[in-house]
Homo-oligomer: A and B are copies of this chain.
Amino acid sequence: MISEKLAEQVQMEVLKRIHPSKKEVATLKKLVDDLKGKISIILKKAGITARIELTGSFSRDTWLAGTRDIDLFLILPYDSPFNPEEVLRVIRQKLSLEWEKRHAQHPYLFTYYHNVQVEIIPCYEYQQGRPLRSPVDRSPLHKKFVLTHLPVGGNDEVRLLKQFMKGIGVYGADIKVNGFSGYLVELLIIHFAGRFLEVLKHANTLAEEVITFDPKVVTPREAFKEDILVVIDPTDSSRNVASAVKEQALTNFIAAASRYLKRPSLVYFFPPTKRVTEQTVNKLYAHPLAFAAIIYPRPAIVDDVLWGQIRKLEASVAKYLERQELRVISIDTVVTQEEVFTFILTQQSHTPEERWQTGPPVALNNADEFIRKYQNNPSTIYGPAPIGKRWQVFVKQKAKRLDELITEGIQRKMITTPSHLQLKESKVLFKDALLEQIKENKELIRFLSQLVVGKPPYLC
């Protein structure tokens, strides 16, 4: 197959760019040793027994060049009298760095150390048959499974799939992306003969099967029927590693995989970043679709909570607009240092000048008010008529522009505002006013340009 040969060439070129150099590896190694040593001493001095283990993609040799991050697990014995909070407090006191304490389901420390992202995560030794003491206790097992099951050369195939997914925007299990986690990518490569191309070839049937790694584990698809994709965690058969994957991410992956197999190209891995010029902005001014943005202050909450709330807001805005007969094409959000920009793209710029108004059921005797209101009203175009068991009337209405409509929706609470988003302090800007506001911000202009174009960057 010609395209498979071409694919190999493309992938060789990709690997050249994403495979970490010896120098990069050496730098990171040195950093890890340095940190391990310091932490080891600190723990010993504090009388805390713990094994320090490097996990994450660096430990598995599946990390992408340039994405420097180090995950250090401090594994306490299962019956350790110390808890993660105490361990972190000690390290924070003794290692004089700008620590940020984070909390996912579990507390951990986050910092930058010589430009490398460092996470220090305390956990307990996992013991089969005993309950988990903390939700991350299983992570060291993931590492072990990947290291023992990835065939020779499989780590580079993982790199290819990660970069491919990054390029098409489906890499990451966080709520913002709702895509594929690094661990999931590793498991997919293991399942599909250790080959990137095999995963792509099976993209279109992924949703149909249940992927397992132990022939004894037979899980019916229905057990995870809410999930789009099911990949059973080899270290815990009750867990679906792919539970974060949303339908749109899978669709995007299938579409891109199918296109790539037909015509392999670097654009899937490294989507071209369009230059933002005056022309870019002018095209937006002249665009046939309507768009607006809700702009509001960035709340000081962790990313996953913030994005959870943003996605809820987006869904509520979409539902509200559809009810008013503005058809939504796309809604997406950019978070900057200070502000949040939720962009809304719709087919029509204004609500229609007429609407159907539904009255009481014809079977009831309480239609008087409705009929009296509309029967000789100059705004009535058609009816009141008994249609589908109810009195209905088609009336003229004031056409409202997208931004007016959203503003009204926020004020009248017809758009549900998640608790942390201070929409009271928001402004809603329509097209020209919005462009006036953001035209100097290349990131925002680029994002908006991509939003109104709709086609994936690899279709350039």
| CB proximity to B under 8 Å, residues A190-220 | 203-205
Stretch at the interface among A61-69, A102-110, A359-367: A359-367
Please give the distance in Å from A245's CB to the nearest CB on chain B. 14
| B258–A365 CB distance below 8 A | yes
Tell whether A262 pairs with B368 under 8 Å between CB atoms, given A362-B251, A375-B455, A389-B251.
yes
- The total of chain A residues at the interface (CB under 8 A) is 43
Total copies of the chain: 2
| CB proximity to B under 8 Å, residues A351-396 | 354, 362-365, 367-368, 371, 375, 381-389, 391, 394, 396
Q: Specify which chain B residues have a CB less than 8 angstroms from the CB of A258 in the assembled complex.
A: 362-365, 367
A381 and B203 alpha carbons, distance in the complex (Å): 29
Tell whether A391 pairs with B453 under 8 Å between CB atoms, given A204-B363, A371-B459.
no
Partner of A459, one of B254, B255, B375: B375
A459 and B385 alpha carbons, distance in the complex (Å): 10
5 CB < 8 A contacts A-B: A203-B363, A258-B365, A289-B381, A375-B459, A384-B459
A residues near B (Cβ < 8 Å) are 203-205, 251-252, 254-255, 258-259, 261-262, 288-289, 329, 345, 347, 354, 362-365, 367-368, 371, 375, 381-389, 391, 394, 396, 452-456, 459
Question: 20 more A-B contacts (CB under 8 A) besides A259-B371, A288-B396, A329-B382?
Answer: A204-B363, A204-B364, A251-B362, A255-B362, A255-B391, A258-B362, A258-B363, A258-B365, A259-B367, A261-B365, A289-B381, A289-B382, A347-B394, A371-B459, A384-B454, A385-B454, A385-B455, A385-B456, A386-B456, A394-B454
List 3 tightest A-B contacts by C-beta distance, closest first: A204-B363, A255-B386, A255-B362
